[in-house]
């Protein structure tokens, strides 16, 4: 089954048992393994052999700090806000509602919600155990009481917008499809750049967050077991 068309190839409604099983085994379990990897990276950067990397990375933040202008301060504020919790959750709920209304398939509509939830769990439980200070530069945003590692704004934006990019692959108009996909892919990168510019994260914080959001989006896209049309017909024949 093609990754891109898996939701169109099989539109059958899952039972509650099937949905719960697949969510646990195909999404939550792999994300838990990835969380352990993130913890390992966090330890390497804070207390392990890569501890000095943070000092070297601050050169990026200082360079961006020295190039700040009122124009870019305003632009990066917009993109920083784009990755904030209220923006991400608000847009996600709107997308879920619209897709559910258009397709009548709740199991497909919840894909973006699963994506941002998976990345958020990794982010939250990582910050409980990894305490990394934010870059030693002037910060243009209020610092939330969480660790710098990984970037929550970047991870959330990546999880949501990469999922929307996968959904947008089914847009019929080629020009519109390319435009929407390009915008959805670009936004997380702009959020990451904004968080660096505004002094809120190290480079490694946003890089790990992009990977975190990407993995969450892919697992969310594949969270439910789907079958090809031929497989469904064969199952019905055997039944």
Predicted local confidence at residue 34, as pLDDT: 98
Nearest 10 degrees: Cα torsion 27, 37, 60, 67 = 20
Predicted local confidence at residue 146, as pLDDT: 75
Tens digits of residue pLDDT in 61-107: 999 999 999 999 999 999 999 999 999 999 999 999 999 999 999 99
- Measured in whole angstroms, the distance separating CA 62 from the mean position of its chain's CA atoms is 27
Predicted local confidence at residue 178, as pLDDT: 97
Q: How far is CA 193 from CA 73, 175, 179, 201, 222, in A?
A: 12, 27, 21, 10, 29
Determine the average pLDDT of the residues in 16-44. 97
- Could you tell me where the DSSP H helices lie in 47-69? 53-66
Band the pLDDT of 166: cuts 50, 70, 90. very high
Predicted local confidence at residue 45, as pLDDT: 93
Joined together, the tokens standing for residue 221 give 């896209």
pLDDT of 9 higher than 50: yes
């Amino acid at each position: 089954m093609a990754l891109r068309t898996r939701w169109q190839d099989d539109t059958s409604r899952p039972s509650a048992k099937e949905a719960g099983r697949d969510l646990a085994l195909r999404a939550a379990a792999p994300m838990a393994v990835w969380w352990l990897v993130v913890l390992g990276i966090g330890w390497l950067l804070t207390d392990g052999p890569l501890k000095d990397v943070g000092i070297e990375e601050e050169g990026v933040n200082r360079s961006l700090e020295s190039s700040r202008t009122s124009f870019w301060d305003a632009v990066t504020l917009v993109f920083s806000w784009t990755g904030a919790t209220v923006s991400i959750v608000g847009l996600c709920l709107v997308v879920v509602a619209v897709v559910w209304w258009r397709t009548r398939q709740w199991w497909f509509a919840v894909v973006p919600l699963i994506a941002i939830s998976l990345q958020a769990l990794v982010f939250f439980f990582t910050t409980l155990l990894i305490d990394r200070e934010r870059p030693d530069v002037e910060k243009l945003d209020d610092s939330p009481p969480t660790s710098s590692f990984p970037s929550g704004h970047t991870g959330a934006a990546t999880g949501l917008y990469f999922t929307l990019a996968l959904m947008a692959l089914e847009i019929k108009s080629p020009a519109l499809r390319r435009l929407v996909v390009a915008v959805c892919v670009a936004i997380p990168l702009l959020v990451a750049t904004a968080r660096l510019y505004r002094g809120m994260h190290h480079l490694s914080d946003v890089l790990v967050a992009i990977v975190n959001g990407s993995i969450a989006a892919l697992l969310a896209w594949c969270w439910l077991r789907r079958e090809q049309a031929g497989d469904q017909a064969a199952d019905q024949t055997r039944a």
